[in-house]
């Protein structure tokens, strides 16, 4: 398993991940990018001012995971306010979530595999990723979005006090996602602690 994030100079963070962890994380982030999608992008070549003020959707997403990533600002009591707020903010929020996820994919792709096959044979297949302060913030956003998405799919609630979900038998089809959810939570917590002054 990945070690915790550690602070590096310049306000960034470093973490060691093995090839399997990098592959799992990349796969999850790519799935997140597919889920978030491009949104309603303005037509290329349009007036730049029109692009800046392009309106987004006014209805909440039907997919529960997307609804969790793009929640109503005012709740069900004020649907008109929520609709207006969503119309003017969702495109930017969607773009930020894509930017966060792409920063993770780029860092993983740039890190690549261990330097040589001999290192892998000696069990030294860990790659150390060094993230700038900005990249660390992108990672924090992407880890949060991944946990929200997986938590929604697993129907994790605050009321799951008895921890039934965490004691699933190994043959339960949800077990891999629960393990990913817990791992991402540990990564997120470690990164938050590293970035705190």
pLDDT tens readout for residues 89-145:
888 999 999 999 999 999 999 987 555 454 444 455 899 999 999 999 999 999 999
46 inside domain: no
Q: Please give the order of strands across the beta sheet that includes 12-18.
A: 6-8, 12-18, 126-131
Q: pTM for this structure? A: 0.84
Number of domains in the chain: 1
pLDDT of amino acid 174: 92
| Angstrom distance (rounded) from CA 65 to CA 150 | 8
pLDDT of amino acid 82: 81
157 inside domain: yes
The vertex-51 CA angle with 46 and 52, nearest 5°, equals 150
65 inside domain: no
Note whether 40 and 57 are within 8 A (CB).
yes
64 inside domain: no
Domain span holding position 178? 6-41+100-195
CA quadruple 30, 28, 115, 129: dihedral sign: positive
């Amino acid at each position: 398993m990945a070690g915790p994030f550690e602070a590096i100079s310049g306000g960034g963070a470093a973490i060691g991940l093995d090839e399997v962890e990098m592959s799992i994380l990349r796969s999850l982030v790519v799935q997140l990018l597919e889920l978030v999608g491009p949104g309603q992008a303005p037509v290329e070549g349009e007036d730049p001012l029109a692009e800046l003020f392009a309106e987004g959707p006014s209805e909440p997403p039907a997919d529960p995971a997307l609804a969790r990533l793009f929640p109503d600002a005012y709740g069900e009591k004020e649907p008109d306010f929520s609709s207006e707020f969503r119309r003017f903010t969702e495109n930017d929020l969607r773009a930020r979530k894509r930017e966060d996820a792409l920063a993770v994919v780029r860092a993983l792709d740039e890190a690549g595999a261990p330097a040589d096959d001999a290192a892998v044979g000696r069990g030294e297949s860990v790659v150390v990723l060094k993230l700038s302060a900005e990249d660390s913030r992108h990672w924090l956003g992407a880890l949060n979005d991944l946990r929200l998405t997986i938590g929604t799919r697993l129907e994790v609630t605050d009321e799951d006090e008895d921890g039934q979900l965490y004691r699933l038998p190994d043959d339960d089809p949800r077990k891999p996602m629960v393990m990913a959810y817990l791992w991402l939570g540990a990564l997120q917590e470690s990164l938050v602690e590293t970035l705190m002054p």
